[in-house]
Structures are given as C-alpha cells and as structure tokens.
Amino acid sequence: MGELLERQQTLPSPPLSLLKPGENPESPRVLCYILVGPSTHRTAIHVKNTWGQRCDRLVFFR
C-alpha cells in the first residue's frame, strides 16, 4: 500500500496556472462562487478581470 501511495504522489501534473477551462474533457470543471458586499465591490471587479477568467462558471452573490 505504501508503494502505491508513494507512486501516486510522484506523478507529474501540470500547474493550475497553465490550465484553461475546457481544455481537457477529463479535467474537473470549476465553479467560482464569490460573495460580494458594498465594501468588496471593487475587489469583485478585479477578480472578474483576473483569475475569474479561469473559472468555468463565475457567480457573484451579495
């Protein structure tokens, strides 16, 4: 069991920063759920324009 676990931990995987949504049909889909309030509205705009673009679905709630 220890050998199998060790082998699984050493398998290479691409960094998340290089993945794009929908690039691999076997890859997981990502839902980004962002809580927004009056004091965080400006931050939400920056989220949408930066890492929010990597989400398959970006949802804002207040």
pLDDT tens digits, residue range 4-46? Answer: 444 455 556 555 555 565 566 677 788 999 999 989 889 999 9
Tokens of 55: 């989400």
Q: How far, in whole angstroms, is CA 2 from its chain's centroid?
A: 30
Q: Is residue 6 part of a domain?
A: no
* All residues at 6 or more sequence positions from 34 whose CB lies less than 8 Å from its CB, including other chains: 44, 47, 52, 58, 59, 60, 61
For residue 59, is it within any domain?
Answer: yes
14 falls within a domain? no
On whether residue 2 sits in a domain, the answer given is no
Residue 15 lies in a domain: no
b/e code 15-43 from CB counts within 10 Å (16+ = b): eeeeeeeeeeeeeeeeebebeeeeeeeee
Q: Provide the residue range defining the domain that includes 30.
A: 20-62
Q: Decide if 39 is inside a domain.
A: yes
Indicate whether 11 belongs to any domain: no
Domain count, the chain: 1
pTM of the full structure: 0.52
